[in-house]
Structure formats: structure tokens, C-alpha cells
Amino acid sequence: MIAVGGEPFYYLEFGDIVLYFSPVTTTLFVLALLFTLFVLASRPERQVDIAFGSDAYLAKVITPGELHFRKFMATACGLASMGAMVTGDVFDFTLFASLVGITNIGIVAAVKNRHVQNAAYQYGLVSLSATVPLFSGAAMVAATTGTLSLIELAKGTYPAVPLAVKSFLVLGIIGEGMAPFYAAKAEMFRAPGAPYVIMCSLSSLLIFLRVVEIAMTM
Amino acid sequence: MKKKDARIIAALTGVLMGVLYFPYVAGLITFWTYGALLVIGAPVFFLAAGFAMMAGEGEEDDPFIGY
Amino acid sequence: MIPEILAALFFGLLLLGLHRKVVARIQKRPGPPVWQEFLHAAKFFWKQTWVPKTASSLMFVGIVLVGIGIWVAALLVVIAGGNILIIFGIYMLQKIVEHGFGLSSGSPYGKFGGVRSVISAASEIPLFVSVAAIALFTHSLALQDIVAYQAVHGPLLLIVPPAAFAMFLVLLSKMPGGPFSVVEGKELVSGYKTEHFGFFRAGLYVCDGLKTTVLLWTFVLVFIGGLPTAGFIIVMVILMIILSFTCALTPMLTPFDSVTLQTLVTGAMLVYVGCIAAMGVPG
């Protein structure tokens, strides 16, 4: 059926919302799960910085309050990515993708560093604007075919989704954190706390991989 | 991780991967079942063997920050 | 399966050694022996190892597990003739692994290596455009279907040469000392690898060996098609020598130039795939 991602071997139904596990979606799901477990289990590193003009260097420590907030946001980001990986509904996917955008800002929101905050703000602007093509892409899928279910769309009995609509979806996801818009995000990685910051890039990569699969399935 | 624990983990994963190779060749377990075991087992075996043999016992050091 | 994994690992390390040898000869140096990378891996494995004081220890160790695991998985997907989207997904995951290696230690050098690796995420986009170009012809992304298509219609290298070129650039961006290898610039000591020493570094060599074999093998399977084993080995060695020549004869770009160039290639590829889609695929 869904040839691009391989044949699904398990369907999980929540009413008319169906999650499906094909080789590709399962691989992506497991990866998101793995890194979410890392977030939950690991402690942040202490970034070493050289104090200019002397031999000294400092190690930045994350305070417990900041730690809890960022851990929460990174976990939420992991959950949103996991959802986006296996959902069989285009609109759900766009919702998860925008949730990933929000939590990405959340992950660095508690960091007291001007560069990080500026980058997060710029990234926020880009991803906010990207939600316009993203959601309108999903809306146009429904408008042109009458369904949002990927499983239905993959059957080929519905009218073909126009290339422009697919490009809208992909453009929206690219704005959520892929190159070239990634440049806005780069400075966010100055923030200490490797396990959390990694979720920012992992989630973007995973939702991009998924949107490629979705665009080729429709 | 203690060296003794690492030794046990390395031995377990190594033996498991080695022993299950024969049923795989004989066609008793599928490619992907054995594959999944290798994907998880190979890195665990590698690192556990490393920890068992070469883990440092002194104090840790600071990262490299310049010559 | 274990013999295949070990063979792929040794072959990949030998290919990387060959790369160093060819680059050295172009620069009129004798260069290290071809099995040097293998010696490095063995040497690092037998060194006393610990986790730095400032590191996020679980991440520091766990990322080595992830690194080896994903490339073993990629190799198995290639052996099984599975879906190339999974292989390319794993290829993109390598970025996250590099990022994790760099950031988990707390070292500034590792961090810059990791951040550069993430900034150069532009290198992956041509990959997906070339995947789209392939899918237009083969109507499937399973490696065995792609090989079967080429058995009938001839190599995709001749049918969609720009897609092969884009994928070649992707391979190039993963080669040490290539024009896009900003991750390993000498100003960063060893980039993301700086703090992983001892058997952690040996694990990195395992990743590199498997990665080299998987990427070159996928390239040959996708653009040339099925060959006998000896044929695969010969073509992969030739491909490696071409990559080495390209690396030796091109300067390393700055991070932003590298991203710009890769974005331009992606744009050109998008136009190309758009043209194919608009004109309709023969057959």
C-alpha cells in the first residue's frame, strides 16, 4: 500500500485517527524514543570556557530550576517528534511539527545568554511564518482530495495531490528548522546542556525525513 | 560502570550474538530478528569489552582546552 | 551476518586508508600504509580510557552506542535490499551523532565541531532531491526494486546523471579533508572527536569504517546496479580514488560558503527534478 515507506505492519487506531508503523516510520519513531530516553536519564554536561587574559577557565553549571524546565521541554519535544513520526493524518502531522517548533524555543528559553535568546527569537519568527504554508498545505490537501488520511491517500483512489500543495508542506517543514533557515537556529546551540539541545536538531531532522515520506506517499 | 559488570555484559552479549548465529544460518530465526539483536548487541559488546579491559581507575580529568 | 559486518568494517577502514594514501601521493608525500586506519582503531582500543570530569557521562558514552548501532543497522538494510529512505535517514542521524559527540564533553573544541556539523545540514537536502528523481523513474525506494529497474533499463547514472552528481557531493561532504569537511577543520583540534579518546575513539573508527562502506555501496547499488562481489569492490575502490582526487585538489570552504554552495546545488536539482516531472518520465 504505502510503497515509499515500506508496507505498514501495525495500525494503531484512535477513532478515525490512525497511527501506522511501517519500516521507515518505525525506525524514525525508535530514534526519537531513544533520544527522549537520553534526555530523561542523562545529566547535562558542564561547558568549559576559557577566561581570556589568564590561565583560568570556568565550567558553566545549570541550576536545578533551569534543568527541570529544560528537561520538561526537551521531553515534550521528543513526544511531539514521536507523534509526528507515526501519525497517519496530515493535519496531525502539521500540528506535531508546529509543537516541535514551539518546544525547540522552550528548550533554550531558560538559558541566560543573549546570543542564545536572540537566535531563539529569530528562529521563532521564521518558524512562525513557516506555519502559514504548513497549515495551508494541510488545508489544501483536504480541499483537493477530500481526506487528510495518508492511508487513504496512498491507495491512489483519490485525486492526485498537486505538486504545489506538496511543496507548501515541505516548505513549511523546512522553515521549522532545516537548511537554509537553519542558520537562524545555529546560535541556539551555544546553550549548555547537550542532551536537551540535541533534541532541537534531532526533531527538525526527523520531521523533515517524515515530510519527505509523506510528500512521496501522497 | 564497574569492570566486573562490564565483563559480564560483554560476555553475555558476545555469547548471545555468537550462539544465535547458528539458528539464523539454519533459518530458524528471521533476518530482522537477528538483525535487531546485532544492532543493539554489537555496540554494547564493543563498549562493554572496552570498559572491561581499559577503563581508567584513577580520577577523571578536565577536557582539553588548549596547548 | 557477523562476517558481513566485520568484512564491511575492514573494507571501509581500508578504503579510508587508501584515501589517505592517494591524497599523500598527490601532495608528493609517501603517506601512511593503506591499513593505517585499522592500526589506529586497534591502537585506540588498547588505551586506558575514562570520561572527562565535566562531561554528561550517559550522553558521552551512549552516543558511541548510537553511532555504531545506526551504521550496523544501515549495513543490514543495504544487505537486505531495504528502503533507501532508511539509509538516508541514518545518514542524517550521523549529524546528530556528531553533534552528540561534540556537545556531550563540555570541551569548546568539541562543541564547535558539533555545531559546525549541524550548520552544514544543507548537505543533506540534495540527497532528498536526488531520491525524488530516482523515485520518479523506479516508482519504489526499495534497493532491490531500484537494482531490478536498472537490470532492465540500464544504470541510473546514465539516466539521471545530475542526481548521481548530487549524491557524489553528499559522499564528498563526509570525506576527511574534502571541500565541505568544515567539521574537521584543523583550527578545531579534532573537531567533535576531540574529547573521545581510547576505546571511544576506536568506536568512532568502527562508525567511520561502516559508514564508508555503506555510503559507497549504496551509491554503486543506486546508480550502477547489481554487480558480482568483485565488481562491487573494484567500483567502490575506483569511486574512492575519484573522491580522494577531488579532496586533494579542492580547498576547504568556509562553513558559510559550504552551506551556500550546497544550497545552490539543491536549487539546481529542484529545477531539474521539476523539469523531469513536468515533461513526464519515459516508460
**Residue of chain C minimizing CA distance to B64:** C107
- CB atoms B47 and C50 under 8 Å: no
* Residues in contact with A138: Cβ distance below 8 Å, sequence separation at least 6, in sequence order: A90, A91, A93, A94, A148, A169
Q: Residue count of chain C, please give it.
A: 283
Check if B43 contacts C (Cβ < 8 Å): yes
The candidate with the shortest Cα–Cα distance to C107, out of B61, A111, A197, is B61
State how far residue B42 is from chain A, nearest Cα, in angstroms: 17
Statement: residue A180 has pLDDT above 70: no
A47, C85: Cβ pair inside 8 Å? no
The residue among C93, C95, C251, C128 whose CA lies nearest residue A186 is C95
Q: Do C84 and C141 contact (CB within 8 A), yes or no?
A: yes
Residues 110-169 of A with CB under 8 A from B: none
Residues 6+ apart with CB under 8 A from C214: C8, C12, C71, C74, C75, C78, C87
Least confident range of A62-76, C80-94, C113-127, C142-156: C113-127
What single string gives the DSSP state of each residue in chain A? ---TT----EEEEETTEEEEE-HHHHHHHHHHHHHHHHHHHPPPP--EEE-TTSS-EEE----HHHHHHHHHHHHHHHHHHHHHHHB-BHHHHHHHHHHHHHHHHHHHHT---HHHHHHHHHHHHHHHHHHHHHHHHHHHHHHHHS--BHHHHHTT-SPPPPHHHHHHHHHHHHHTT-TTGGGGTGGGGGSS-HHHHHHHHHHHHHHHHHHHHHHHH-
Smallest CA–CA separation between C277 and chain B, in Å? 36
Note the pLDDT of residue A3: 60
Q: Which chains touch A (3 or more CB pairs under 8 A)?
A: B, C
- The reply to whether residue B39 touches residue C51, judged by beta carbons under 8 angstroms, is no
Cross-strand partners of A18: A13
Count of CB atoms within 10 A of residue A190's CB?
17
Task: From chain B, pick out residues whose CB is under 8 angstroms from the CB of C5.
Answer: 38, 42
- B27–C contact, CB cutoff 8 A: no
| Arithmetic mean of pLDDT over chain C | 86
* B60 with C73: Cβ contact below 8 A: no
- Has residue C190 got a pLDDT over 60? yes
Question: Which residues from chain C sit within 8 angstroms of residue B56, using beta carbons?
Answer: 48-50
Q: Name the residue among C56, C85, C262 with its Cβ closest to that of A195.
A: C56
C243 pLDDT band (50/70/90 cuts)?
very high
Q: What is the mean pLDDT of residues B41-51?
A: 89
Inform me whether the pLDDT recorded for C214 exceeds 90.
yes
Is the model's pLDDT at A1 over the cut of 60? Answer: no
What mean pLDDT is predicted for residues A118-127? 88
How many Å apart are CA C117 and CA C135, to the nearest integer? Answer: 28
Q: What's the pLDDT score for residue A75?
A: 93
List, for residues A138-155, the tens digit of each pLDDT value.
999 999 988 888 888 888
Nearest to A165 by CA among A140, A142, A147: A140
Which of B64, B65, B67 has the most A C-beta neighbours within 10 Å, making it the best mutation to test the interface with A? B65
> Which of C89, C105, C259 minimises the CB distance to A27?
C89
Q: Average the pLDDT over each of A3-17, A203-217, C68-82, C202-216 and give the range with the smallest value.
A: A3-17
**Which cell is C88 given?**
538516508
Mean pLDDT computed over A69-81: 92
Partners of B24 on chain C (C-beta within 8 Å) are 1
Question: What pLDDT, on a 0 to 100 scale, did the predictor assign at position A2?
Answer: 47
Mean pLDDT of A179-189: 71
Q: Which residue of A has its CA nearest to B63?
A: A48
Which amino acid would we find at residue C101? Answer: F
Q: Report residue A88 as a C-alpha cell.
A: 497517519
What is residue B24's three-state secondary structure? helix
Rounded Cα–Cα distance for residues C47 and C37 (Å): 16
Cβ within 8 Å, pair B50-C72: no
Alpha carbons B19 and B33: distance in angstroms, whole number: 14
- Gap from C123 CA to chain A (nearest CA, Å): 9
- The pLDDT of residue C220: 93
pLDDT of residue B32 exceeding 70, the answer is yes
* Chain C nearest CA to A135, separation (Å): 22
Across the range C138-153, mean pLDDT stands at 87
Mind telling me how many Å the CA of C14 is from chain B's nearest CA?
20
B interface test, pick of A57, A58, A60 with most B CB neighbours within 10 Å: A57
The full set of domain ranges for chain C reads 2-276
pLDDT of residue C7: 93
Nearest-10 crossing angle of helices C2-26, C36-45: 120
Q: What is the pLDDT of residue C281?
A: 67
Do C174 and C210 form a contact (C-beta atoms < 8 A)? no
> pLDDT tens, C54-99?
888 888 888 999 999 999 999 999 998 888 888 888 888 888 888 8
Percent of all residues in chain C with a pLDDT value above 70, rounded to a whole number = 97
Residues of A with CB under 8 A from a CB of C: 3-6, 23-24, 27-28, 31, 34-35, 38, 41-50, 59, 163, 178-180, 182-183, 186, 189-190, 192, 194-195, 197-198, 201-202, 205, 208-209, 212-213, 216
pLDDT confidence tier of residue C221, bands split at 50, 70 and 90: very high
3-state secondary structure chain C: CHHHHHHHHHHHHHHHHHHHHHHHHHCCCCCCCCCHHHHHHHHHHCCCECCCCCCCHHHHHHHHHHHHHHHHHHHHHHHCCCEHHHHHHHHHHHHHHHHHHHHHCCCHHHHHHHHHHHHHHHHHHHHHHHHHHHHHHHCCCEHHHHHHHHHHHCCHHHHCHHHHHHHHHHHHHCCCCCCCCHHHCHHHCCHHHCCCCCHHHHHHHHHHHHHHHHHHHHHHHHHCCCCCHHHHHHHHHHHHHHHHHHHHHCCCCCHHHHHHHHHHHHHHHHHHHHHHHHHCCCC
| Phi-psi group of C81: left, alpha or beta (phi > 0 → left; psi -120 to 50 → alpha; rest → beta) | left
- Residue C251's pLDDT band (cuts 50, 70, 90): confident
Nearest to C105 among B31, B39, B63 (CB): B63
- To the nearest whole Å, the CA of C175 is away from the closest chain A CA by 20
pLDDT at B67: 55
Identify the band that residue C18 occupies on the pLDDT scale cut at 50, 70 and 90.
Answer: very high
Check CB contact of B63 with chain A, cutoff 8 Å: yes
**Residue C217 pLDDT:** 93
CB contact under 8 A, A194 and C89: no
Residue B31 sits at the chain C interface (C-beta within 8 Å): yes
3-state secondary structure of B65: coil
Nearest-Cα residue of chain B relative to residue C58? B1
Q: How far is B14 from chain A (nearest CA, A)?
A: 23
At C283, the pLDDT band (50, 70, 90 cuts) reads: low
Average pLDDT (C133-157) is 86
Q: Which of B46-50, C129-133, C213-217, C273-277 has the highest mean pLDDT?
A: C213-217
Predicted pLDDT at C282: 60
Contacts of C73 in chain A (CB under 8 A): 27
The three cell numbers of residue A149 are 488520511
Query: Which residues does residue A149 pair with via DSSP β-bridges, in sequence order?
Result: A89
**DSSP category for residue B13:** H
Q: Is B66 on the interface with A (CB under 8 A)?
A: yes
Question: How big is chain C by its Cα radius of gyration, in Å?
Answer: 19
B42 interfacial to chain C (CB closer than 8 Å):
yes
The Cα-based distances of A18 to A21, A142, C178, C277 in angstroms read 10, 16, 45, 31
